[in-house]
Structure 1
Amino acid sequence: MSKTYSSADHAYREVKERILTGVLPGGELISEGEVASDLGMSRTPVREAFLRLETEGWMRLYPKRGALVVPIPVAEAEHVAHARYVVEVAAVRAVAVRDRTALIAALRASLDRQRADAEAGDRERFALEDTDFHRTYVVAADNPLLAGFYDSLRERQRRMNSLALHRGATDMAAIIEQHAELADLIEAGDADGFATALVAHLSTVHRLSLSGL
């Protein structure tokens, strides 16, 4: 039994990672047999993984046809962006009245890693670093409720980042330039300027019209 559950957990992590990174794009129909063969296991743990992913909203199962990878709904992308805006701006307003030396050093280090990932053409590592860049100043606000809520968005945020990079809507150099601007505004303690720049950043990267922000 432990082997079955271990295999199911492995299948779950593998398939979910492929969804988050865009290897399995939204709208693609896959079968238990294909995944089982690829992972070198039986269909039973894959079926369990698919059921778990369906419960979480990543897949929609169709008996005898396969599993559909659920695309990111436009409304969900907008909701995630709006939620991020609220949390990130609140965090920056909090850190604006504190010593930001360590935070700015961490953001500059992240920018260096982003440049290295862009130079290497590693889009998946860049997408992760992108997500962590924004999380850095949220955590710096030292509000566990804000950080916890923000982390609940992490997987959807990562998937949106990967999608934006894969479709070529915004190149990594442009994203880095926008991140550098956000870091400069945080360093200056300019929360209002940060809020304006964040709306522009989220709108261009994710092709969204963020009305009301």
Structure 2
Amino acid sequence: MSEQLRVERPQTLTDLAYDRLREGIVLGELKLGEQVSEALLAQRMGISKTPIREALVRLKIEGLVDIHPQRGTFVFKLTPEQVGQLCRYRAMIETAALREAATMNRAELLKRMQMHVDEMVITEKAGDVDRLSRIDMNFHYEFLACCANPYLRAGYELIRYQLTALRHRSPIPNMVDSHQVLVDAIAHGHIDEACAQLHEHVLENEGRYIAACDVM
């Protein structure tokens, strides 16, 4: 079928509410642990409560909100123990994906990784912290995108948006250097070294993520 004949499906109100709320959580407009009101959100967005309620259910599946009957709905907030568990889980998934992608699809992986590092250099000079966080997330997701194992990608989706939200709240000061070393190791075929560096890099975030969750 010709692409010119394709009709784009319009977003539903639930889709729009979901996108807007997810963005608000990720970018920090809604604070970690903050209680959210369906009625107030509906009023602010100019829509009924039904799409808001449906959007919040989808966000719960992604780990971005907690819904407690009789108590209300809250933006997610992790305990220090949960942050540690998340970081260790992330390290396992990402290092496994990096190893497989670097072994089976190294040229494409390298091209994508270097592209993001080049973006980091420009964005870091511009001082755009929000964009740096998005580039950081995209860099790490390339391990999954270039990996042929769908189970690793599915496992990463369980934590992807919580990670994105925590990244926006805890930018790292040496982003270019800490990512370029991974590119260089893969470029020289040092896959074990790259995986060890990645594992250490991921676990170094634990303290920053805990601090981000402590801020109300």
Q: TM-score, normalised by structure 2?
A: 0.75
Give the match's secondary structure for 2:73.
strand
Structure 2 match to 1:119? 125
Which residue matches 1:181?
A: 181
Residue 34 of structure 1 aligns with which residue?
A: 40
Identity, in percent, stands at 28
The equivalences for 1:83-98 within 5 A come to 83-98=89-104
Q: Report SS of the residue matched to 2:182.
A: helix
1:153 corresponds to which letter in structure 2? I
Looking at structure 2, the residues matched to 146 and 55 of structure 1 have their Cα atoms a distance apart, in angstroms, of: 18
Cα distance in structure 2, aligned partners of 1:108 and 1:176? 10
Cα distance between partner residues in 2 of 1:208 and 1:200: 14
Equivalent residue number for residue 146 of structure 1: 152
Asked whether the 8 Å contact 1:92–1:186 carries over to 2, the reply is no
Deviations 1:62-117 (A, max 9, x none): 75x75322213333332332222223222333344456333222211111112233
Aligned Cα root-mean-square deviation (Å): 2.9
Q: Label 1:40 to 1:182 Cα distance change in 2 as closer, same or farther (>3 A).
A: same
Specify the alignment match of 2:3 in structure 1.
Answer: none
Can you give the 5+ residue segments of structure 1 that lack an aligned partner in the other structure?
none
The amino acid of 2:92's aligned partner reads: V
Distance 1:208 1:164, change over 3 A: closer
Aligned residue pairs, count: 198
Give me the whole-angstrom Cα distance separating, in 2, the residues matched to 1:81 and 1:101.
28
In structure 2, do the counterparts of structure 1 residues 48 and 78 end up closer, same or farther at CA, with 3 Å as the change threshold?
Answer: same
Structure 1 residues 106 and 74: alpha-carbon distance in aligned structure 2, compared to 1, 3 A threshold: same
SS of aligned partner of 1:207: helix
Give the C-alpha shift of residue 29 in structure 1: 2.4
What does 1:33-182 correspond to in 2, within 5 Å? 33-54=39-60, 57=63, 58-61=65-68, 67-98=73-104, 100-165=106-171, 170-171=172-173, 174-182=174-182
Greater relative contact order (Cα 8 A, min sep 6): structure 1 or 2? 2
Counterpart contact for 1:185–1:191, Cα < 8 Å:
yes
Q: 1:113 to 1:55 in 2, by over 3 A?
A: closer
Counterpart AA for 1:105: K
